[in-house]
């Protein structure tokens, strides 16, 4: 097996793998931070609704009293 053939095979495998990853990402089509709840809080960013303060907050940054 020649070095040129081996290098071409490796490049082809990398291109195919990247194409597959791109295809799967497009299929999923879910935006990061696109998971707002009924109050508009983004759960994936750590926000939850605080009824007492009537706003979204992160409980480790601000207490909901």
Task: Say if residue 12 is in the same domain as residue 24.
Answer: yes
User: By the 8 A CB rule, do 53 and 41 touch?
Assistant: no
Average of per-residue pLDDT across 38-55? 92
Task: Say if residue 15 is in the same domain as residue 41.
Answer: no
Q: Is the pLDDT of residue 29 over 80?
A: no
Domain range for 48: 34-65
Task: Say if residue 38 is in the same domain as residue 57.
Answer: yes
SS3 32: coil
SS3 6: helix
Average of per-residue pLDDT across 24-32? 67
Binned at pLDDT 50, 70 and 90, residue 44 comes out as confident
**Alpha-carbon span 5 to 65, nearest angstrom:** 67
**Alpha-carbon span 4 to 18, nearest angstrom:** 21
Task: Say if residue 38 is in the same domain as residue 64.
Answer: yes
How many folded domains does the chain comprise? 2
Q: Is the pLDDT of residue 38 over 80?
A: yes
Average of per-residue pLDDT across 5-12? 95
Task: Say if residue 21 is in the same domain as residue 38.
Answer: no
Task: Say if residue 25 is in the same domain as residue 45.
Answer: no
Task: Say if residue 39 is in the same domain as residue 60.
Answer: yes
């Amino acid at each position: 097996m020649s070095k040129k053939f081996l290098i071409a095979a490796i490049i082809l495998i990398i291109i195919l793998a990247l194409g597959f990853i791109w295809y799967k990402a497009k299929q999923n089509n879910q935006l990061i931070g696109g998971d707002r709840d009924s109050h508009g809080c983004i759960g994936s960013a750590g926000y939850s609704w605080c009824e007492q303060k009537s706003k979204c907050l992160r409980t480790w940054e601000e207490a909901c009293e």
